[in-house]
Structure 1
Amino acid sequence: MKTSLFRPLLEVAVVLFVVLGAARWLSGLFSKRTQVYRATAARQLRLLFWPLLALGAGLSVLPTLALGDEPASAFEWALTGGFLLFTLLLSGPALLLHLRYWTLNHETTLVFQPNENRFEVYEAGQRLPFARRDLARIERVTCRARRTFWSKYDYLRLHLVDGRVIVLTSLLTELEPLAAFLRSVPTERRAAAWCWV
């Protein structure tokens, strides 16, 4: 009974996935490539895939234990709690960083076209007024812990001569090409175990 319901839903989901992927690929062939970066769902999913998978694995044990036919022993609850704590330690820092970066950049749009020497930042649809000469210094922070779920979270902090600070996070795009583009500005590079802004 259950498989007869889930199989058609799964088939429809696979067909939709293939059709939407093919449509996106075809539209990419015929459209002019723009260099506009936002916190898109695809970028967020790319960053959150492994942390959410680990969290899902940890949470999947709870219903089985709680809704089982026989009551669970204290040892089983302790083992489940330990597994859940382990998965939270693996995925929790990445989820916290993602939430922090989203609050900073969910309304930010970055227009970056190095071939045309174009670099603009928009906040809530309004262009932030600054030019390249207005940059006093740049702070580039990357993650030192390479084999963690939060290793892809890093940020650029642009310090302007008038005292304003603009933060661009990896939620928008990969930041290394942007840092290379701004190499003429004094840049302070540092690595941190956890790139909290």
Structure 2
Amino acid sequence: MKSSILRPLLEVAVALLVVLGAVRWVTGLFSKRTAVYRVTAARQMRLLFWPLLALGAGLSVLPAVALSGQKTTLVEWLLALGFLLFTLVLSGPALVLFLRYWVVNSETVLLFQPTENEFEVYEAGQRVAFERRDLARVERVTCSARRTFWAKYDYLRLHLADGRIVVLTSLLTDLEPLAVFLRNLPLERRSRYWCWV
């Protein structure tokens, strides 16, 4: 009974993924490379895929143990809870960073075209008024923990001369080209184990 329902759902999901992938590939061939960066579903999935997969693996053990009824021993419960705790330790920091970065940059739009010397930041639809000469310094923070689920989370702080700070996170785009674009400004590079903004 269970497999008769699950198999068609899995087949539909795989077919949908193949069709969406093909459509994205075809539209990518004919589309112009964008200079506008915002929080997109594709970027979110790129950052969340492995943490959510690990969390799903950890959570999938609990129903199996709980549904086995009276036959479940204390050792099986401890193993299941230990596996869940292990996957939470692996994926939890990445999920927390994702939520924090989403709160910081969910309403942010970055217009960045280095060949045209364009660089503008919009918060909640309003342009953050500054010119390149208004930037006092740039702070680039990257993750030093290379083999973790949160290694791709980093951010850039733009310190303006009037005291304002504009934060751009890796949830928008890869920030290294932007740091290279701003190389003539005082650039402070730091590395942290966990890049909390």
TM over 0.5: yes
Query: Does 1:132 find its partner at 2:128?
Result: no
Change (3 A) 1:22 1:119: same
Unaligned runs of 5+ in 2: none
Following superposition, the deviation at residue 71 of structure 1 comes to: 4.3
Distance 1:33 1:52 in 2: 29
What pairs with 1:79-118 in structure 2 (closer than 5 Å)? 79-118=79-118
Distance 1:8 1:59 in 2: 23
Distance 1:133 1:18 in 2: 47
Change (3 A) 1:94 1:118: same
Query: Does 1:194 find its partner at 2:194?
Result: yes
Following superposition, the deviation at residue 158 of structure 1 comes to: 0.4
Number of residues paired by the alignment?
A: 197
The CA RMSD measured in Å over matched residues stands at: 1.4
Distance 1:177 1:61 in 2: 42
The equivalent residue for 1:174 is 174
The residue type equivalent to 1:51 in the other structure is P
3-state SS of 1:157 partner: strand
Following superposition, the deviation at residue 17 of structure 1 comes to: 2.2
Distance 1:10 1:78 in 2: 31
Query: Does 1:149 find its partner at 2:182?
Result: no
3-state SS of 1:96 partner: helix
The equivalent residue for 1:10 is 10
The equivalent residue for 2:160 is 160
Following superposition, the deviation at residue 19 of structure 1 comes to: 2.3
Following superposition, the deviation at residue 26 of structure 1 comes to: 2.0
The equivalent residue for 2:67 is 67
Change (3 A) 1:156 1:80: same
Change (3 A) 1:2 1:63: closer
The equivalent residue for 2:51 is 51
Following superposition, the deviation at residue 35 of structure 1 comes to: 1.4
Following superposition, the deviation at residue 49 of structure 1 comes to: 0.9
3-state SS of 1:60 partner: helix
3-state SS of 2:121 partner: strand
